[in-house]
Amino acid sequence: MNAIAGLWEFLDRGGVVIWIIAALSVATLSIALWKLWRLMMTGAWGGGARAEAALALWVGGQGEAAQAALQGRAGLRGRLALSAMQAAATLPDAAAREETARIARKLMEKARRGLRALELSATIAPLLGLLGTVIGMIAAFQALQEAGARADPATLAGGIWEALLTTAAGMSVAILASLVLSWFDAVTERLGHDMEDIATRVFLARLRAREGGA
């Protein structure tokens, strides 16, 4: 109960702006957890083993078996590999590459969904904190002006201290959002490299098979 009371007092001292920052922090955490769950479901940290096994079958000339091994897989690597194999097997080389690139762009857009919201949170949180501080400083100096010669320096210091709470809160949210965003960016970038590598290997194997058949 003491922790809850302390949190309530902290929010109350910061004014309206710190309540907005608190709501932003909850939204940021929710987006981060949702994004983490989505990346786990799409195989961002796994699923590569099945794609590699299917690629081995594809390189070995077992195209149908390779595609069958990837049917119904939710992982982005597996879905890209299956799309590339289907395109390579049914379309001319240039058209197959274009179709695979189109699918890859869609999958990467899905992988990056939600990152813009985290970027926005990292950008506006410190601005909100600065806004709260400016508003608090204005109120503090207005109180100082009204008090005139009877002004108490301790009261002014207390008002400034409370105004600076919003800056600290905004920077805290921005730092955490930036760290999470950087991590997710690294994960999706690695995923994009893996998908590019998979597509390249699919088409190279098909090219070698055609050259061997010729």
Cα–Cα distance list, 80 to 106, 156, 195 (Å): 10, 62, 7
Give pLDDT, residue 70: 86
Rounded average pLDDT per 10-residue block, the chain, 214 residues: 56 74 93 92 78 88 87 83 90 91 92 92 92 80 67 62 82 94 94 92 84 61
Give pLDDT, residue 6: 55
Residue 50's contacts (CB-CB under 8 Å, 6 or more residues apart) are: 69, 70, 73, 75, 78
Number of helices followed by number of strands (H, E) in the chain: 7, 0
Give pLDDT, residue 196: 92
Q: How far apart are the first and last CA of the chain?
A: 79
Give pLDDT, residue 35: 93
Question: What is the count of structural domains for the chain?
Answer: 1
* CA 184-188-20 angle, 5° bins: 30
Give pLDDT, residue 14: 61
Asked whether 63 and 89 are in contact (CB, 8 A), the reply is yes
Q: Which domain does 159 fall in, by range?
A: 2-213
pTM: 0.81
E strand segments, 52-160: none
152 CA to centre of own chain: 48
What are the DSSP calls for 28-62, one per residue?
A: HHHHHHHHHHHHHHTTTTS-HHHHHHHHHHHHTT-
Residue 156's contacts (CB-CB under 8 Å, 6 or more residues apart) are: 140, 143, 144
